[in-house]
Amino acid sequence: MTQNHSNFKRLTNETAITLAKKLGLVNADASLKCNEIGDGNLNYVFHITDTVTNKGLIIKQAVPYAKVLGESWPLTLKRAAIEANALIHFRSYCPEFVPQVYYSDEQLAITVMEDLSHLKIVRTGLIDGDSYPLLSQHIGEYVAKTAFYTSDYHLEPSSKKEVARHFTNPELCKITEVFIFTDPFFEELPGDFEVELKDAAQKIWNDQEVILEVAKLKQSFETEQEALLHGDLHTGSIFASKTETKVIDPEFAFYGPVGFDLGQYTANLLFQAVTRNGAGKEEIFTLLHEFWNVFEETYTKLWEVQNKSPFRHVKGYLPYLLTKFKKDAFGFAGCELIRRTIGLSHVADLNVIGDKETRIAAKTATLEIGTFLIKKREELDVPAVIEALKQRTLP
Ligand code: SR1
Ligand code: MG
């Protein structure tokens, strides 16, 4: 469906300030400065600060194409409204982990929201060696609550379907279907990797067992509607400090398999585990354990207290579901590890490694672990994943 963009206008630093004043979100006579700080792939982000009080706000604007891919990849502006609505939804379940939306405009594709500049993007923080003692507890709770409260176990099934209708997000899902689940697994499709990784990539393309399992995972992503997902829950979508955590950027939100959010976060911790040795690696293992423990504990508590299904007490039902989430998550994590290594959208965790031999070793390990997770997901648990990581140390 084509979208009418006649009311759309790209913001500049100046018009962003004018808009903030017009909305009454800052004083009309305040002395303000504005910087475009967007470093993501799809949008522009304006940070407005009052130079006297230092208080700020964020105006995020989507453009009618993927910023990183250029105008050759047109993209709906509706994603801004999906993002604003998803933030509002998720915040209603987890106010402490989601920024506040002050205003949104579907025509201009903007979302005005809480300034989080006192926090740091977690991917950057982890690369810098910062530690986040509460991060995984917060994200475990966030995923459990959003997964449970938006599911058929909490919402009346017809209300759930109505919510799902509002979060139909075919264009952003297509990015995931192509970038995560398709291109990286076929030699003839677009990819991006150093020549030294060709043999490792070839091994994946030739492995029919991997390709079959990826086909199953892609089908699950495309067809299952378990809960409202964030849809892009990597460490670049999380702002945090030692004590505070906020999940941002849910423009990929849609109804999908719970394991997808779980798997994205898991995979993005694994990038760090691969790049580290010794105590640094152990720190990531702790984050992994805490994430899965808190997710399962919180989900279990919600199930016991708030589940309305007549089946809730059926012996084995909850364990069946938790096991399904985990198997799916490991498979999705494997796809994420592989696509960020030989696909079109890389991660800084691996690319910042300056020494070529070490970088190639890290990327090769990432591809091997990705393959292992996809193939063995049915029989794995967190300790087994950690054991596999322990066996790979960098030169
Ligand atoms: C064209 S967008 C590439 C990637 O960036 C986003 O954050 C998603 O992860 C997407 O796959
Ligand atoms: Mg994003």
Task: Locate the domains of the chain by residue range.
Answer: 13-114, 120-390
Residue of 42, 173, 221, 229 with the most ligand 1 atoms within 8 Å of its CB, for mutation: 42
> From the alpha carbon of 232, which atom of ligand 1 is closest?
9
Confidence tier at 42 by pLDDT (50, 70, 90):
confident
Q: Looking at residues 165-193, what average pLDDT do you find?
A: 97
Whether complex ipTM tops 0.95:
yes
Ligand 1 center–CA 219 separation, angstroms: 19
Alpha-carbon distance of 45 to 59, in angstroms, equals 6
Alpha-carbon distance of 159 to 165, in angstroms, equals 10
Ligand 2 center–CA 237 separation, angstroms: 6
Q: Looking at residues 322-333, what average pLDDT do you find?
A: 98
Does 120-390 carry CATH code 3.40.50.150? no
Give the closest residue (by CA) to ligand 1 atom 6: 41
Give pLDDT, residue 395: 80
Residue 384 pLDDT > 80: yes
Which one of the ligands is nearest to 346 CA? 1
Confidence tier at 69 by pLDDT (50, 70, 90):
confident
Residue 121 pLDDT > 50: yes
Give the closest residue (by CA) to ligand 1 atom 2: 41
Ligand 1 center–CA 60 separation, angstroms: 16
At 196-208, the pLDDT tens digits run 999 999 999 999 9
**What HEC string does 248-302 produce?**
CCHHHCEEECCHHHHHHHHHHHHHHHHHCCHHHHHHHHHHHHHHHHHHHHHHHHH
Q: Looking at residues 31-54, what average pLDDT do you find?
A: 91
Give pLDDT, residue 2: 52
Q: Looking at residues 359-382, what average pLDDT do you find?
A: 98
Give pLDDT, residue 1: 46
Cα-only R_g, the chain: 21
Alpha-carbon distance of 178 to 190, in angstroms, equals 10
Q: Give 364's contacts (C-beta < 8 A, 6+ positions apart).
A: 197, 200
Other Cβ atoms less than 10 A from the Cβ of 27: the count is: 13
Q: Are 329 and 262 in contact (CB under 8 A)?
A: yes
Q: Which of 287, 308, 307 is nearest to 299 (CA)?
A: 307
Give pLDDT, residue 98: 98
Ligand 1 center–CA 140 separation, angstroms: 22
At 77-97, the pLDDT tens digits run 999 999 999 999 999 999 999
> From the alpha carbon of 40, which atom of ligand 1 is closest?
7
Alpha-carbon distance of 264 to 188, in angstroms, equals 26
Q: Looking at residues 330-350, what average pLDDT do you find?
A: 97
Q: Looking at residues 325-344, what average pLDDT do you find?
A: 98
Give the closest residue (by CA) to ligand 1 atom 3: 345
Q: Are 141 and 301 in contact (CB under 8 A)?
A: no
| Residue found under tokens 């176990």 | 153
Across the chain, where does the E strand assignment appear? 32-36, 43-50, 56-62, 65-66, 70-74, 101-105, 110-114, 120-121, 227-229, 238-240, 245-247, 254-256
Q: Are 140 and 290 in contact (CB under 8 A)?
A: yes
Q: Looking at residues 256-262, what average pLDDT do you find?
A: 99
Residue 73 pLDDT > 80: no
> From the alpha carbon of 234, which atom of ligand 1 is closest?
9
Query: Quick check: do 13-114 and 120-390 share a fold?
Result: no
Which one of the ligands is nearest to 65 CA? 1
CA neighbours within 13 Å on the CB side: how many for 166? Answer: 15
DSSP letters along 170-209, please? HHHHHHHHHHTTTGGG-TTS-----GGGHHHHHHHHH-HH
Neighbouring residues of the ion ligand 2, judged by CB less than 5 Å: 40, 249
Average pLDDT, the chain: 95
Alpha-carbon distance of 228 to 90, in angstroms, equals 9
Q: Which CATH code for domain 13-114?
A: 3.30.200.20
Strand partners of residue 297: none
Which one of the ligands is nearest to 79 CA? 2
Q: Are 23 and 33 in contact (CB under 8 A)?
A: no
- Helix crossing, 208-223 with 317-342: angle to 10°? 120
> From the alpha carbon of 344, which atom of ligand 1 is closest?
3
Q: Looking at residues 311-316, what average pLDDT do you find?
A: 96
CB-defined site of ligand 1, < 6 Å: 41-42, 66, 68-69, 175-176, 179, 232, 345
At 140-168, the pLDDT tens digits run 999 999 999 999 999 999 999 999 999 99
Ligand 1 center–CA 41 separation, angstroms: 6
Q: CA-based angle 256:258:264, to the nearest 5?
A: 100
Percent of the chain's residues with pLDDT above 70:
98
Alpha-carbon distance of 150 to 295, in angstroms, equals 15
> From the alpha carbon of 42, which atom of ligand 1 is closest?
2
Which one of the ligands is nearest to 343 CA? 1
Q: Looking at residues 292-296, what average pLDDT do you find?
A: 98
Confidence tier at 248 by pLDDT (50, 70, 90):
very high
Confidence tier at 3 by pLDDT (50, 70, 90):
low
Give pLDDT, residue 75: 86
